[in-house]
Amino acid sequence: FGVSPEMVQAIIAGGYEACYRAVEASEDDAEAGARDLAARGFTGQDVLVGIAASGRTPYTVGAVEHARQLGALTLAITCVPDSPITAAAEVSMVPVVGPEVIAGSTRLKAGTAQKMVLNMISTATMIRLGYVTGNRMTNVQTRNVKLRARALRILQLEVGLDEEAATEILDWANGNLPVALVMSKTGASLDSAESALEKARGVVNEAVNFIRKAS
Protein backbone atom coordinates (compact mmCIF):
# COMPACT_ATOMS: atom_id res chain seq x y z
CA PHE A 1 0.00 0.00 0.00
CA GLY A 2 3.04 2.27 -0.01
CA VAL A 3 2.83 3.43 3.61
CA SER A 4 5.81 4.28 5.80
CA PRO A 5 7.48 1.27 7.49
CA GLU A 6 7.11 3.19 10.76
CA MET A 7 3.31 3.01 10.50
CA VAL A 8 3.10 -0.77 10.92
CA GLN A 9 5.85 -2.43 12.95
CA ALA A 10 6.31 -6.05 13.97
CA ILE A 11 7.78 -6.99 17.34
CA ILE A 12 8.54 -10.61 18.18
CA ALA A 13 9.80 -12.27 21.34
CA GLY A 14 13.51 -12.87 20.88
CA GLY A 15 13.92 -10.06 18.36
CA TYR A 16 14.90 -10.29 14.71
CA GLU A 17 16.92 -13.47 15.24
CA ALA A 18 13.72 -15.30 16.22
CA CYS A 19 12.40 -14.78 12.69
CA TYR A 20 14.78 -17.40 11.33
CA ARG A 21 16.01 -19.30 14.41
CA ALA A 22 13.88 -20.50 17.32
CA VAL A 23 14.36 -18.56 20.57
CA GLU A 24 11.55 -20.22 22.52
CA ALA A 25 12.47 -19.16 26.06
CA SER A 26 12.16 -15.47 25.17
CA GLU A 27 8.37 -15.70 25.05
CA ASP A 28 8.25 -16.60 28.76
CA ASP A 29 9.44 -13.14 29.85
CA ALA A 30 6.29 -11.16 30.67
CA GLU A 31 8.23 -7.90 31.13
CA ALA A 32 10.18 -8.12 27.87
CA GLY A 33 7.14 -7.21 25.78
CA ALA A 34 6.74 -3.92 27.63
CA ARG A 35 10.46 -3.19 27.30
CA ASP A 36 10.39 -3.85 23.57
CA LEU A 37 7.40 -1.55 23.13
CA ALA A 38 9.19 1.21 25.03
CA ALA A 39 12.28 0.74 22.85
CA ARG A 40 10.12 1.40 19.76
CA GLY A 41 8.68 4.56 21.29
CA PHE A 42 5.19 3.09 21.67
CA THR A 43 2.67 5.54 23.18
CA GLY A 44 -0.99 5.77 24.07
CA GLN A 45 -1.64 7.18 20.59
CA ASP A 46 -0.64 3.89 18.98
CA VAL A 47 -2.55 0.64 18.48
CA LEU A 48 -1.23 -2.75 19.56
CA VAL A 49 -2.33 -6.07 18.10
CA GLY A 50 -1.16 -8.93 20.31
CA ILE A 51 -0.95 -12.35 18.62
CA ALA A 52 -0.88 -15.53 20.68
CA ALA A 53 -2.48 -18.74 19.43
CA SER A 54 -2.73 -20.16 22.95
CA GLY A 55 -3.85 -16.85 24.42
CA ARG A 56 -1.44 -17.17 27.32
CA THR A 57 2.05 -16.31 25.98
CA PRO A 58 3.59 -14.19 28.79
CA TYR A 59 5.57 -11.93 26.43
CA THR A 60 2.49 -10.98 24.40
CA VAL A 61 0.09 -10.72 27.33
CA GLY A 62 2.58 -8.49 29.15
CA ALA A 63 2.91 -6.23 26.11
CA VAL A 64 -0.87 -5.91 25.77
CA GLU A 65 -1.28 -5.10 29.47
CA HIS A 66 1.44 -2.44 29.24
CA ALA A 67 -0.08 -0.87 26.12
CA ARG A 68 -3.51 -0.71 27.72
CA GLN A 69 -2.06 1.00 30.80
CA LEU A 70 -0.69 3.67 28.45
CA GLY A 71 -4.19 4.24 27.10
CA ALA A 72 -3.52 2.68 23.69
CA LEU A 73 -6.15 0.69 21.82
CA THR A 74 -5.32 -2.98 22.31
CA LEU A 75 -6.48 -5.89 20.19
CA ALA A 76 -5.83 -9.59 20.62
CA ILE A 77 -5.78 -12.36 18.04
CA THR A 78 -5.96 -15.81 19.59
CA CYS A 79 -7.59 -19.16 18.97
CA VAL A 80 -8.60 -19.71 22.60
CA PRO A 81 -11.60 -17.82 24.02
CA ASP A 82 -11.58 -16.65 27.65
CA SER A 83 -7.78 -16.71 27.81
CA PRO A 84 -5.37 -14.28 29.55
CA ILE A 85 -4.86 -12.24 26.39
CA THR A 86 -8.60 -11.77 25.80
CA ALA A 87 -8.87 -10.50 29.38
CA ALA A 88 -5.95 -8.11 28.82
CA ALA A 89 -7.05 -6.66 25.47
CA GLU A 90 -9.86 -4.22 24.81
CA VAL A 91 -10.98 -6.05 21.64
CA SER A 92 -10.41 -9.73 20.88
CA MET A 93 -10.68 -11.66 17.61
CA VAL A 94 -10.93 -15.38 18.29
CA PRO A 95 -11.05 -17.75 15.31
CA VAL A 96 -11.68 -21.10 17.02
CA VAL A 97 -10.00 -23.70 14.81
CA GLY A 98 -10.09 -26.76 17.06
CA PRO A 99 -7.27 -29.28 17.62
CA GLU A 100 -4.33 -29.27 15.21
CA VAL A 101 -3.66 -32.27 12.96
CA ILE A 102 -0.29 -32.49 14.71
CA ALA A 103 -0.97 -31.81 18.38
CA GLY A 104 0.48 -28.52 19.57
CA SER A 105 1.69 -27.39 16.14
CA THR A 106 -0.06 -24.04 16.10
CA ARG A 107 1.74 -22.96 12.93
CA LEU A 108 -0.86 -25.05 11.08
CA LYS A 109 -4.56 -24.14 11.49
CA ALA A 110 -4.07 -21.52 14.20
CA GLY A 111 -1.24 -19.74 12.39
CA THR A 112 -3.17 -19.74 9.12
CA ALA A 113 -6.33 -18.39 10.75
CA GLN A 114 -4.41 -15.64 12.53
CA LYS A 115 -2.72 -14.60 9.28
CA MET A 116 -6.14 -14.31 7.63
CA VAL A 117 -7.36 -12.06 10.46
CA LEU A 118 -4.24 -9.89 10.08
CA ASN A 119 -4.94 -9.62 6.35
CA MET A 120 -8.45 -8.39 7.13
CA ILE A 121 -7.18 -5.83 9.64
CA SER A 122 -4.46 -4.43 7.37
CA THR A 123 -6.71 -4.33 4.30
CA ALA A 124 -9.58 -2.63 6.14
CA THR A 125 -7.16 -0.14 7.71
CA MET A 126 -5.63 0.85 4.37
CA ILE A 127 -9.10 1.26 2.86
CA ARG A 128 -10.23 3.49 5.75
CA LEU A 129 -7.03 5.55 5.44
CA GLY A 130 -7.89 6.23 1.80
CA TYR A 131 -5.13 4.29 0.06
CA VAL A 132 -7.62 2.27 -1.99
CA THR A 133 -9.98 3.54 -4.68
CA GLY A 134 -12.67 1.03 -5.60
CA ASN A 135 -10.67 -2.18 -5.43
CA ARG A 136 -7.38 -0.66 -6.58
CA MET A 137 -4.31 0.23 -4.52
CA THR A 138 -3.85 3.82 -5.63
CA ASN A 139 -0.75 4.42 -3.51
CA VAL A 140 1.45 1.89 -5.34
CA GLN A 141 5.14 2.79 -5.23
CA THR A 142 6.79 2.22 -8.63
CA ARG A 143 10.00 0.70 -7.28
CA ASN A 144 10.41 -2.06 -9.87
CA VAL A 145 9.19 -3.07 -13.33
CA LYS A 146 6.21 -5.05 -12.01
CA LEU A 147 4.99 -2.22 -9.78
CA ARG A 148 5.41 0.38 -12.52
CA ALA A 149 3.33 -1.80 -14.86
CA ARG A 150 0.67 -2.10 -12.15
CA ALA A 151 0.67 1.66 -11.63
CA LEU A 152 0.18 2.20 -15.36
CA ARG A 153 -2.77 -0.22 -15.43
CA ILE A 154 -4.37 1.52 -12.46
CA LEU A 155 -3.88 4.92 -14.08
CA GLN A 156 -5.45 3.68 -17.32
CA LEU A 157 -8.45 2.15 -15.56
CA GLU A 158 -9.04 5.01 -13.12
CA VAL A 159 -8.83 7.83 -15.66
CA GLY A 160 -9.60 6.09 -18.96
CA LEU A 161 -6.22 6.70 -20.58
CA ASP A 162 -4.49 4.56 -23.17
CA GLU A 163 -1.06 3.14 -22.36
CA GLU A 164 0.86 5.88 -24.15
CA ALA A 165 -0.97 8.71 -22.37
CA ALA A 166 -0.70 6.94 -19.01
CA THR A 167 3.03 6.44 -19.49
CA GLU A 168 3.50 10.10 -20.37
CA ILE A 169 1.66 11.45 -17.33
CA LEU A 170 3.31 8.95 -14.96
CA ASP A 171 6.66 10.19 -16.26
CA TRP A 172 5.57 13.81 -15.69
CA ALA A 173 4.71 12.81 -12.13
CA ASN A 174 8.20 11.33 -11.68
CA GLY A 175 6.73 7.85 -11.31
CA ASN A 176 4.45 8.89 -8.44
CA LEU A 177 1.05 7.24 -9.03
CA PRO A 178 -1.01 9.38 -6.60
CA VAL A 179 0.41 12.55 -8.17
CA ALA A 180 -0.32 11.22 -11.66
CA LEU A 181 -3.89 10.37 -10.66
CA VAL A 182 -4.53 13.82 -9.19
CA MET A 183 -3.05 15.52 -12.26
CA SER A 184 -5.12 13.36 -14.61
CA LYS A 185 -8.39 13.81 -12.74
CA THR A 186 -8.10 17.57 -12.22
CA GLY A 187 -5.76 18.91 -14.89
CA ALA A 188 -3.59 20.33 -12.10
CA SER A 189 0.11 21.01 -12.45
CA LEU A 190 2.73 18.82 -10.81
CA ASP A 191 3.31 21.34 -8.01
CA SER A 192 -0.42 21.76 -7.35
CA ALA A 193 -1.01 18.00 -7.28
CA GLU A 194 1.88 17.45 -4.87
CA SER A 195 0.69 20.27 -2.61
CA ALA A 196 -2.87 18.95 -2.55
CA LEU A 197 -1.68 15.44 -1.72
CA GLU A 198 0.42 16.79 1.13
CA LYS A 199 -2.65 18.54 2.58
CA ALA A 200 -4.70 15.37 2.04
CA ARG A 201 -2.14 13.12 3.79
CA GLY A 202 -1.58 11.25 0.53
CA VAL A 203 -5.25 10.38 -0.07
CA VAL A 204 -5.99 10.78 -3.78
CA ASN A 205 -9.73 11.47 -3.57
CA GLU A 206 -9.27 14.11 -0.86
CA ALA A 207 -6.54 15.81 -2.90
CA VAL A 208 -8.82 15.86 -5.94
CA ASN A 209 -11.58 17.45 -3.84
CA PHE A 210 -9.19 20.11 -2.51
CA ILE A 211 -8.27 21.16 -6.04
CA ARG A 212 -11.84 21.11 -7.35
CA LYS A 213 -13.10 23.23 -4.45
CA ALA A 214 -10.29 25.73 -4.97
CA SER A 215 -10.95 26.11 -8.70
CATH 1.10.8.1080 domain locations along the chain: 133-214
- CATH code of domain 16-129: 3.40.50.10490
Q: What is the pTM of this model?
A: 0.82
Model pLDDT, residue 73:
98
Specify the fold of 133-214.
Answer: Helicase, Ruva Protein; domain 3 (1.10.8)
CATH 3.40.50.10490 domain locations along the chain: 16-129
d(CA 18, CA 32): 14
Residue (of 47, 26, 28) closest to 37 by Cα position:
47
β pairing state of 136-137 and 73-77: unpaired
pLDDT digits (tens, 9 = 90+) for 21-79: 888 788 999 999 999 999 999 999 999 999 999 999 999 999 999 999 999 999 999 99
pLDDT digits (tens, 9 = 90+) for 143-193: 999 999 999 999 999 999 999 999 999 999 999 999 999 999 999 999 999
Model pLDDT, residue 215:
78
Q: Is the pLDDT of residue 9 over 90?
A: yes
Q: Is the pLDDT of residue 200 over 90?
A: yes
pLDDT digits (tens, 9 = 90+) for 106-148: 778 899 999 999 999 999 999 998 889 888 999 999 999 999 9
